[in-house]
Amino acid sequence: MVAKSTSLQSRPKSTNIIMLNSKQVLDTEGQTSSVGQNQYNKDDDEMKKSKVVKINVGGEIIMSTRDILTRIRSSKLASMINGNCEDISAFDCDGNIFLNYNPILFYHLLEQLRTLEDENFPIFYPPKSRLLVIPFRQMFQELGFPIASLSNDDIITINVGGEIFVTRCQTLTQIPHSKLAIVVSSYRIIDTDENGYLFLDYDARLFRYLLSQLRSTSCSQISTFQAPSSDDRKEFNAMLIRLGLIDKI
């Protein structure tokens, strides 16, 4: 259940929430006040017992159950919900934990927490909108969620220039310190398509030719990559350089 509210009370423009470890807010005269902290301390025992938790995310009140918000017990979010004040940066005027993120990003995370099948092996996906991928992953990491990694036998689907490729992770990670291997193996998704697949902005024909060589050659035997033709060599090598598969020529 998600509820929206204007949780920050009306006050003069000089009043601001300050993200400090002291968890203080400024009153209308510019004097420090611990209203949010005191309210939080006062209700701390009740909050720990309550099944429903309210969080102020970017000025919007989001409500969910404690069990959902703490499903990944090792996360910083779970620690905050369980009352660890050291992990809490600020409170709103009603004593709710304040998180300075776009509510849309938090909703996306919350929905995945609600439908998470295996808490021991959590897999999360960024939003479909490319503009939201980077800020989502920043929030994701700041809230202490683990970044999933892929094993060599895992199957990965990628979108290259509008064409879908499906292959094993080990095929794309044969050169371990390349940008391609890092992006694939650690799921550090910089860009995704509308289906959430990793998106690489290269000529699909050239990538298909590269993929064929990666599939047929072991890492120990890779010395050079061959372009489809002499006419393609410049663009093919540029792709290899950007993927970190060869040094600059």
In a domain, 10, yes or no: no
Predicted TM-score of the model (pTM): 0.51
- Indicate whether 169 and 202 sit together in one domain: yes
In a domain, 12, yes or no: no
The confidence score (pLDDT) of residue 149 equals 56
- Indicate whether 29 and 136 sit together in one domain: yes
pLDDT digits (tens, 9 = 90+) for 78-132: 999 998 877 787 899 999 999 999 999 999 999 999 998 777 767 777 787 767 8
Q: Name the 3-class secondary structure at 26.
A: strand
For residue 232, what are the domain limits?
155-242
- Indicate whether 29 and 91 sit together in one domain: yes
- Indicate whether 58 and 166 sit together in one domain: no
In a domain, 60, yes or no: yes
Nearest alpha-carbon partner for 11 in 100, 93, 101: 93
- Indicate whether 49 and 136 sit together in one domain: yes
- Indicate whether 194 and 122 sit together in one domain: no
- Indicate whether 73 and 111 sit together in one domain: yes
Burial class (CB within 10 angstroms; exposed 0-12, middle 13-18, buried 19+) of 230: exposed
**Edge-to-edge strand order for the sheet containing 52-57?**
60-65, 52-57, 97-99
The confidence score (pLDDT) of residue 105 equals 95
